[in-house]
Chains A and B, each alone.
Chain A
Amino acid sequence: MRILIVEDEAALRESLASQLKAADFTVDTAADGEEGLYAAKEYPIDLAIIDLGLPKLSGIELISQLRGAGRSIPILILTARDRWQEKVEGLQSGADDYLVKPFHFQELLARMQALLRRAGGWSQSVLQCGDISVDTRSQIVTVGDRVVELTSFEYRILHFLMMRAGEVISKAELTERLYEQDFERDSNVIEVFIGRLRRKLDPHGNRQPIETLRGRGYRLALARAEAVPRARADG
């Protein structure tokens, strides 16, 4: 999943970015409102973390413009101001949740995952499709009762496919969602990883959890165990 961090405080931005990467997210960063707006419009972002006090374009402005442009990605705002009036203003402009600084990274991660789940139509932190289950908190993947060891990149692909289970996702989109913007793109890499993932999830090759639709992309074909897709609560 690809995350955009818009934060002007370099130390916080860098520390968040490295922690999110360690948690198997793809991360883009922007240091001011205008840069953030550009990145959010141009890159296939799954979630944006936006600081409210930004130079050039305030966080509220940025969110309003994004929502005005029809971008409905989940947005989590960071703010140093914890009065309700300011929280309400932020949420009214179109954000989905807020976090008051300073915060623990674990709290941020939990809020992000909740927002991502909601956007994907999931309500529990454990995603379950057929006999495959992905615990987004502990990153433990099980098939039936068997725990499957995945590399970081394999987990990223599976997480993304599970989030959007049932949807066809093109190879290009997968690449964009899982690589940084300046990464040398090579679609063969994706094929290789999908191949490895298939072998780990389905060693006997009899269930085919990940379908390949020729010329269109991939789809996680197993039924969601918790099928409660609902409209996201966008403001």
Chain B
Amino acid sequence: MRSLSGRLLASVSLLLIVFFGLTIAVLDLLFRDLSERSIGELLDAQLIALLAVSETDDHRNPQPAGPLAEARLRQPGSGLYAVIRAQDGTLIWRSPSLLGRETSLGRTFTGSERRIERQRLDDGSEVMTLSAPIDWEVEPGVSRPYVFSVATSVAPYEAQLHRFRQQMFGWFLGLLLLLLGSLALLLRWALQPVRRIEREIREVEGGSRTALTDVQPTELRGLAANMNTLLASERRRVEHYRNTLGNLAHSLKTPLAVIRSTLSSGGAPVHSNVIDQQVGRMDAIVQHQLRRAAAAGGAVVGHAGVDVAPLLNELRAAMSKVYAHKDLMIEVAAPDEARFAGDRGDLFELGGNLLDNACKWCRTRVRIGARREFDAFGRVRLRLSIEDDGSGVAPGDRERIFERGMRADEQVDGQGLGLAMVREIVALYGGELTIGDSALGGAQIEVVLPGR
């Protein structure tokens, strides 16, 4: 069962079948009970009528006097029968309707209570028999016991029951089909938005659509919104890669051209110097573009967020090794709840470059802090602040230090690439980057990023 509607239909039909089955069983039981009771009442009435017309005959036995009122008792094989027996079973009288038939009716009766029982006659037909022991006053003061029995064929009742059942099944089957049919229609209608999303996603895949429509039912709105975020960030990323690749190829051409022209101009001693310079330049370009390309960027969907504190501590440990010759004191102040809503590698890159820069310029102290806060729109933000006790950055240079190495074809020595990278990552996440003076005496760089 792969489809939602398939599952729903299957489970609902199972439920309906069980429910209708039970209903049918109960109705059947009630109907049989009712018909048996009405047979009992009919037999009662016939017995009373028989008793009423019976009189003592010449042999001092009870016998109906005169013609019977009930026409069916007179008509052979009518299905209504009556018998009077002495207590020992001797047949005293039987209704004309029993002519030519077997007369076991009421013969097996013993006891002192009237009783209804089902009997099968020798010709195969089934009857319901009411037998009652009667003490008949054959002459004044003398009573003798007799058994009066009336019977009716059950065939008409069975036929009625059969018809009833047929009708009942027919109705229920019809009802079941009607219910399932309307349920299927309802499901189709209710699941229409899901189908539409599916179709839209196919269209997005096919390229004829760029985003999902945002008027969805409430339950799907989140899905569509997340999907759209994902699509948008995916598009941004592809564009980012394309730009990066273009820039890379383009900017590598210049140093290659320099090398080629140097080689073709002759003059061996200058070669290695020029080539080394150009190789350095190409390396810087590749490094810069690779790091740019590696930045994931954008809001991350369905992500618990990166814990900032352990990551900063890992970076601190790494810096202590890299700057082992400097005898640094690096303080990390990050609360546990500080989380970054983005890629772990990006935060590593951002923090690593900022810390590396601070360690490079500080005398002995570096402080890095993280804080969780809310912006004007109520979104969670992560504020990172990195300070050092170096000589700081002059106000006029503050814009420029993040620019260094930004242009890929610019001559760079590897220095400052890190800060350009920081700016790049902050921009990818739509964050803010500010630089100012630290209480420690050097520079303070603050970064605001999406938090969680």
Chain A residues in contact with chain B, CB under 8 A?
A: 82-85, 87-88, 91-92, 95-98, 100, 102, 114, 118, 123, 233, 235
**Which of B291, B314, B318, B352 has the most A CB atoms < 10 Å from its CB?**
B318
Contacts of A235 in B (CB 8 A): 317, 321
Known A-B contacts A88-B314, A91-B317; A83 and B325 likewise in contact (beta carbons under 8 Å)? no
Known pairs A82-B287, A83-B348, A85-B348 / 12 extra A-B pairs, C-beta < 8 Å: A82-B291, A84-B315, A84-B348, A84-B353, A84-B356, A85-B345, A87-B352, A92-B317, A102-B279, A102-B283, A118-B325, A233-B321
B142 part of interface (Cβ distance < 8 Å):
no
Is chain B's interface secondary structure helix, strand, loop, or mixed overall?
helix
Q: How many residues of B contact A (CB 8 A)?
A: 23
Contacts of B324 in A (CB 8 A): 96-97, 118, 233
Q: Is the CB of A233 within 8 A of B283?
A: no
Contacts of B279 in A (CB 8 A): 102
CA of A156 to CA of B314, assembled, Å: 37
Contacts of A87 in B (CB 8 A): 318, 352
Kindly provide the distance from the CB of B304 to the nearest chain A CB, expressed in whole angstroms: 18
Q: Which are the 9 A-B pairs with shortest beta-carbon distances?
A: A84-B352, A85-B348, A91-B318, A88-B318, A84-B348, A85-B345, A233-B324, A91-B321, A84-B349
CA of A95 to CA of B318, assembled, Å: 9
Q: Which residue of A lies closest to B350 (CB)?
A: A84
B204 part of interface (Cβ distance < 8 Å):
no
Q: Which residue of B lies closest to A80 (CB)?
A: B290
Is chain A's interface secondary structure helix, strand, loop, or mixed overall?
mixed
Contacts of A84 in B (CB 8 A): 315, 318, 348-349, 351-353, 356
Q: Which residue of B lies closest to A98 (CB)?
A: B322
Kindly provide the distance from the CB of B223 to the nearest chain A CB, expressed in whole angstroms: 31
Q: Is the CB of A83 within 8 A of B321?
A: no
Q: Which residue of A lies closest to B355 (CB)?
A: A84
Kindly provide the distance from the CB of A233 to the nearest chain B CB, expressed in whole angstroms: 5
**Which of A88, A96, A118 has the most B CB atoms < 10 Å from its CB?**
A88
CA of A228 to CA of B318, assembled, Å: 23
B95 part of interface (Cβ distance < 8 Å):
no
B240 part of interface (Cβ distance < 8 Å):
no
Kindly provide the distance from the CB of B295 to the nearest chain A CB, expressed in whole angstroms: 9
Kindly provide the distance from the CB of B405 to the nearest chain A CB, expressed in whole angstroms: 14
Contacts of B351 in A (CB 8 A): 84
Q: Is the CB of B287 within 8 A of A88?
A: no
| Cβ-neighbour of A83 out of B318, B349, B356 (below 8 A) | B349
